[in-house]
């Protein structure tokens, strides 16, 4: 295995990672961008593989469904305004209210879990993109660092500028495509916090992988 993929010293050479680790930034396990998360492992992770970044969509992307929940939460308080519900017995109306709030709770749990578990991971060896499409279907895309050809980002809208998030797109030599969008790269990190930092760290890992490949060819 190439040297870059089995020695954590290459991670230590990345200035941004060292500065963030020393400053204690981006360390919250519930955060939208976690640098060098402790006690974090994933399926198929190698013993000597180090997780550098773990990220998920910016929390502000949840504001839409959260606003909807705030609205529908108060709907049962106005049952008496609906003619069809007025004719129901007290017990039936109570049962309907229970069903209503159960559905709202399920909606909240589902949306939170989809936000929390849709993540991307950058290690010293590869990039992993984990996408959940509903609670019963997930798609995992993995690529080695030395297979990445290009990485860039875009920021669109006022919210993205205010909260400093954007879409990071990683292009690979195999041109892997997303399951839900055939025109999009499989490694599409939607609404990633501090996309400049994410792109910079991946770019530096790409440079070190390229340098290591050149050194191996000269041997």
Give pLDDT tens digits for 129-172. 998 887 788 888 899 998 999 999 999 999 999 999 999 999 98
From the list 60, 38, 14, the residue with the least C-alpha distance to 191 is: 60
Decide: 170 and 127 in contact? Cβ < 8 Å: yes
**CATH number assigned to the domain comprising residue 125:** 2.30.29
Q: State the Cα–Cα distance between residues 78 and 206, nearest whole angstrom.
A: 58
Decide: 144 and 124 in contact? Cβ < 8 Å: no
Give yes or no: residues 22 and 104 share one domain.
no
Give yes or no: residues 144 and 189 share one domain.
yes
From the list 13, 57, 1, 78, the residue with the least C-alpha distance to 208 is: 13
Q: State the Cα–Cα distance between residues 176 and 186, nearest whole angstrom.
A: 5
What three-state secondary structure class fits 142? strand
Give yes or no: residues 16 and 89 share one domain.
no
pLDDT given at position 172? 87
Whole domain around residue 123: which residue ranges?
Answer: 3-57+118-218
Strand partners, 141: 129
Give yes or no: residues 106 and 137 share one domain.
no
Residue 15 has pLDDT above 80, yes or no: no
Give yes or no: residues 132 and 32 share one domain.
yes
Residue 60 has pLDDT above 60, yes or no: yes
Q: State the Cα–Cα distance between residues 27 and 187, nearest whole angstrom.
A: 23
Give yes or no: residues 79 and 106 share one domain.
yes
């Amino acid at each position: 295995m190439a040297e870059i993929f089995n020695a954590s010293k290459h991670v230590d050479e990345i200035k941004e990672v060292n500065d963030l680790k020393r400053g204690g930034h981006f360390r919250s396990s519930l955060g939208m961008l976690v640098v060098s998360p402790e006690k974090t492992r994933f399926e198929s992770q190698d013993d000597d593989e180090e997780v550098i970044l773990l990220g998920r969509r910016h929390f502000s992307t949840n504001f839409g469904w959260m606003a909807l929940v705030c609205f529908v939460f108060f709907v049962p308080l106005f049952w008496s305004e609906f003619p069809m519900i007025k004719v129901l017995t007290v017990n039936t109306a109570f049962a309907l209210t229970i069903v209503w709030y159960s559905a709202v709770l399920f909606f909240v749990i589902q949306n939170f879990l989809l936000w929390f578990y849709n993540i991307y991971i950058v290690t010293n060896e590869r990039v992993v993109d984990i996408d959940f499409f509903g609670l019963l279907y997930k798609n995992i895309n993995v690529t080695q660092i030395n297979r990445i050809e290009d990485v860039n980002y875009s920021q669109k809208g006022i919210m993205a500028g205010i909260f400093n998030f954007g879409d990071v797109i990683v292009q690979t030599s195999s041109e892997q495509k997303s399951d839900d969008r055939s025109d999009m790269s499989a490694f599409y990190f939607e609404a990633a916090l501090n996309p400049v930092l994410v792109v910079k760290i991946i770019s530096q890992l790409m440079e070190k992988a390229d340098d290591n490949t050149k050194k191996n060819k000269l041997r």
